[in-house]
Amino acid sequence: MRYVLGIITKSYVLLLIPFLFAGTILCAQIGLDAAIHKTARLQSEFISAIWSELPLHAGSVAPFFVPLLVYFKNRNRSLLIAQSVLFTLAVVTALKMITSRVDPENSSVTDIYLRSNAFEFGFLENGLISVVEGWPSGHAATNTAMAIAAVVGASPILRLAGGFWVIWVIMATIFGDRGGVHWFSDSMAGVAIGAAIAYAHISLYAKPNPYEPSRD
């Protein structure tokens, strides 16, 4: 419990979430989400698949595979990544369950603007699809948390690679599958939550040489 309260406090997530939700409502109301979705729809299915399928599919497993990959070289780093990702996933999943935002490809609402403004508040009001497609983006959140936790204090090349990966995943969630994955504001909220939680974990781990390989 002390760990959970510590991360919540250090990440300011309880203050961040209302701010991000207000930003999401604004993006939907002014038509920004709908406009970006319309732009994404200009791609052909073939072109969209070529550049977005890899980050969308690999982005589902990378946040859980990377900590395992790092474990044999640096246990402290591996634990930092894993905790950042799992805490982020828990927060994002809870938000998805209670907001049940209609996804961009929902066929029950044909108007894009109305679709981007559709939320079904409650507990899993839109069924399990809420956890897969809703607000905020789990892909954006967990990959951001993973990348930050993985490359902080690392070499410039690794930091560049981590930044490139996160941007690729974010772009894929917004424009991939011809805009059918997430709204723009879903992804931006996910990035903010993932970053806040990752930096909170980094602060928690801050100590002399915290990223040196474990000697256990």
Q: Answer yes or no: are the C-beta atoms of 159 and 142 closer than 8 Å.
A: no
Q: Is residue 215 part of a domain?
A: no
Q: How many domains does the chain have?
A: 1
In tens digits, the chain (216 residues) has pLDDT values of: 888 988 998 899 999 999 999 999 999 999 999 999 999 999 999 999 999 999 999 999 999 999 999 998 999 999 999 999 999 999 999 999 999 998 898 777 789 999 999 998 888 777 777 787 889 999 999 999 999 999 998 889 999 999 999 999 999 999 999 999 999 999 999 999 999 999 999 998 775 544 444 444
Rounded CA-CA distance 119/126 in Å is 9
| Domain-embedded: residue 172 | yes
Residue 173 lies in a domain: yes
Residue 43: inside a domain: yes
Residue 65 domain-assigned (yes or no): yes
| Lookup: tokens for 44 | 């052909």
Nearest to 28 by CA among 178, 182, 138, 180: 182
Range list of H helices, the chain: 2-11, 13-29, 32-40, 45-71, 75-99, 112-116, 129-133, 138-151, 156-175, 184-205
Query: Would residue 212 count as lying in a domain?
Result: no
What global pTM score does this model have? 0.91
Q: Where in the sequence is the domain holding 51, given as residue range(s)? A: 2-205
Is position 104 within any domain? yes
Per the document, the length of the chain is 216
Q: How many CB atoms lie within 10 A of CB 108?
A: 8
Contact 43, 53 (CB under 8 A): no
Read off φ and ψ for residue 210, nearest 5 degrees. Answer: -65, -20
In a domain, 181, yes or no: yes
Q: How far is CA 57 from the centre of its chain?
A: 14
